[in-house]
Structure 1
């Protein structure tokens, strides 16, 4: 296999898009959000860097691919004047310094326009469907539409339609071929577990605006590589907290290449083939940098470093048999969480959110809240699976029960409330950011993160091979 190399030359359009974003924000302050949205829609480029079709979705009939069905996109972002369903009865709190609460909750034509998506020259690729092609089915399926599984009672979520089965089948075929033939990510005796993970269905549900199966495969390989590291280094298949830091550091060099002397570089390059996590990380990252911009690749590396730091904190608690305070556990979960997945939603969608817009504190808060909420979903759906596993697994219900002297049932229900609070905060912050920064790529990125949140819940709810609910209701 080729050794890691430099990513290909990239377009200068991200910088132009970033400058345009600053222009739009300045205009919004002086002429209002509606005028800014109009300017953004008319002048912004539809795509910034990544190759591919001009507007998603695009079918690949020769490979058995097909575009998502009409109405297959679910958004978590509330439209103006709406109160998210399933909430505690109150309205979402809007953060200070971005937009007034009334502008998000009340009648706001600018926000309605933003949530419909931009219009005008060069913006077709920023919408999930053209305005003259309204979906023939509702954008969100009924809660009972999933083929299997049931949602946790009281858990705030948004149902999504079934992922396109043709895409699911093709992604599943390709990812298994990659995992078995290219990187040997798992031994033959793990095949049933790999199949039961249903990673193809997972990724198709989470990325409904991916223009091609090739784009979906970027996320799918990285997801499998992350799980190989978690299983082999930390948990189910030989993982241990002892020596974890060394294993993670060496594996991280498969994502963030070592720059060393000519004498020692061959030893490092050979080490990238030493075990399944490093082989998977190296290969998945090679594919990713071929499509991603340098800033997107570096963003992903940063979030993977966050993930690895979270692994180390949890391992330290395991070594000392320490149960953290609830707030400490939530701090660890902000790092040991799904954040690397939604942060690449623009790469998988075939466009770029420029680095300065991605780095804005308001955007970082939205991404963090999305990662935190989706990770608590994992704690809740995997609760019985972890209880049945050897040893003591920390999850939010377990920590609440220990630290707040609660019964298992009460602790679990309290964890559901924590998740719901995180989801409401995510939605309020995302809606406020959409109103305050109506730049086309910002709006599409927010929709993409919201779709990832919805798809992540869908996968957990329907993956009855892995998960079952406790008998608390």
Structure 2
């Protein structure tokens, strides 16, 4: 009998809520008897209490996450707690939650590199990261083919002169590396279209393909209605609908969102709209500073980067994986902290790898190394190396909080979602390191 396709997408809220309630009740009983089990500690750190948002558990203060020591030359293996998380859920009835449990085609493994052979490109020295396997080349080729056909034939995304830049982005390799649990190519395409659309908005509205801080708010608001539709009168609705075809960013947003809605649940779609509003708010803050020529304090820059960051990408990992993290579990403060830390760490990766690219572009680009050097009076090199330390601190905090949440709330959808976010973080680094068409490292070592 042939392997059945993915199950119809449906909410796991009732079962998850029941399991979560049982877990909370068990925790309360354990507390009453004085036998509440501790959360596994991360090597090199003190044992951490449970995360916020779960009854009776407390949030570790910032002081409990010590400053990262200088990173070793070779990235260490994940801690035992994190390894348990990355292995995925286990136990009766959880087979279908494993990343490779259901796929539309048999997985084709990439040719294994020679033992010890590094991936293409060089990682930033001292950067804490985890290497990932080379993404499935069959899937990479098919996603790359489909996304270019979509960009050219469906949304007329770019002029011929930009074709090499589109190809050099290697978005197929990026998304396959970040979503190895996607059950079908079409699930991968959901993430790929959204990624390309988001970059079109960034490039054409904000950056070096016609972007400008002047008037950005109006452009972003109108583009946002392509993913969060306008509800207006019959008289004016046709004009709005026509506007969604007015430029490449809006065409891309509208089309990518239409495809996303076919695979997602209403709560997943609303979650994505919220994250995109966060992203657009971050764009506006950066644009305001550019207009006033204000260099933010380091903490202010990091606040902006918590909004202008990759968060919309890892938070759709359940949609791409063909399941749902229920809305009440996604909204838990502990989960929100994990997601925020993941988004912040991956965005600083972008600051570090795109550093020389941005310095070579017209105008002054703000990134974390530049802001640190300016505000803390350091050299360019010292500012860059300090930014590496900031990234490492964020990564350590992300891993500790994810492991703590996995132990405190062992619901299968929570475990799989945390694993998906962790894999996205690693895949994002892999893409930045290996995309030598776009990125090169500064000569600081």
* Structure 1 and Structure 2 fold alike (TM over 0.5): yes
Gaps of 5+ in 1: 1-8, 33-78, 84-89, 102-107, 131-135
The residue aligned with 2:76 is none
Distance 1:255 1:400 in 2: 35
Distance 1:274 1:114 in 2: 45
The residue aligned with 1:145 is 118
1:405 aligns with 2:377: yes
- 2:50–2:405: 8 Å Cα contact kept in structure 1? no
Distance 1:93 1:403, change over 3 A: farther
Distance 1:370 1:436 in 2: 19
Question: Which of 120, 123, 136 is the aligned partner of 2:94?
Answer: 123
The residue aligned with 2:34 is none
Deviation at 1:92, TM superposition (A): 6.6
Distance 2:116 2:212 in 1: 39
Question: Which of 351, 362, 365 is the aligned partner of 1:393?
Answer: 365
The residue aligned with 1:330 is 302
1:244 aligns with 2:216: yes
Question: Which of 264, 267, 271 is the aligned partner of 2:243?
Answer: 271
The residue aligned with 1:204 is 176
1:230 aligns with 2:202: yes
The residue aligned with 1:179 is 151
What CA deviation, in whole Å up to 9, does each residue of 1:118-163 have, x standing for no partner? 3344311212367xxxxx99x99977431x1010000000000110
Q: How many residue pairs get matched?
A: 401
Gaps of 5+ in 2: 1-7, 32-38, 52-56, 61-78, 102-108
What CA deviation, in whole Å up to 9, does each residue of 1:245-299 have, x standing for no partner? 0000000000000000011000000000000010000000000011100000000
Distance 1:287 1:408, change over 3 A: same
**In the TM superposition, what are the counterparts of 1:310-321 in structure 2 within 5 Å?**
310-321=282-293
Distance 1:157 1:142 in 2: 19
Distance 1:183 1:323, change over 3 A: same
Distance 2:267 2:200 in 1: 25
Distance 1:115 1:466 in 2: 30
What CA deviation, in whole Å up to 9, does each residue of 1:221-253 have, x standing for no partner? 000000000000000100000000000000000
The residue aligned with 1:94 is 48
Question: Which of 266, 277, 281 is the aligned partner of 1:309?
Answer: 281
**In the TM superposition, what are the counterparts of 1:249-398 in structure 2 within 5 Å?**
249-398=221-370
Distance 1:232 1:295, change over 3 A: same
- 1:93–1:425: 8 Å Cα contact kept in structure 2? no
The residue aligned with 1:20 is 19
Distance 1:194 1:225, change over 3 A: same
Distance 1:223 1:358 in 2: 21
* Residues 110-119 or 20-29, more deviating: 110-119
Distance 2:47 2:40 in 1: 14
Distance 1:190 1:116, change over 3 A: closer
Structure 2 SS opposite 1:455: helix
**In the TM superposition, what are the counterparts of 1:146-161 in structure 2 within 5 Å?**
146=119, 148-161=120-133
Deviation at 1:111, TM superposition (A): 8.7
What CA deviation, in whole Å up to 9, does each residue of 1:156-199 have, x standing for no partner? 00000110100000000000000110001111110000000000
Deviation at 1:26, TM superposition (A): 2.3
- 1:114–1:438: 8 Å Cα contact kept in structure 2? no
Deviation at 1:109, TM superposition (A): 10
Distance 2:80 2:431 in 1: 34
Structure 2 SS opposite 1:145: coil
Distance 1:18 1:272 in 2: 39
Cα root mean square deviation, aligned:
2.7
Distance 2:156 2:303 in 1: 34
The residue aligned with 2:443 is 471
TM-score (norm 1): 0.80
The residue aligned with 2:420 is 448
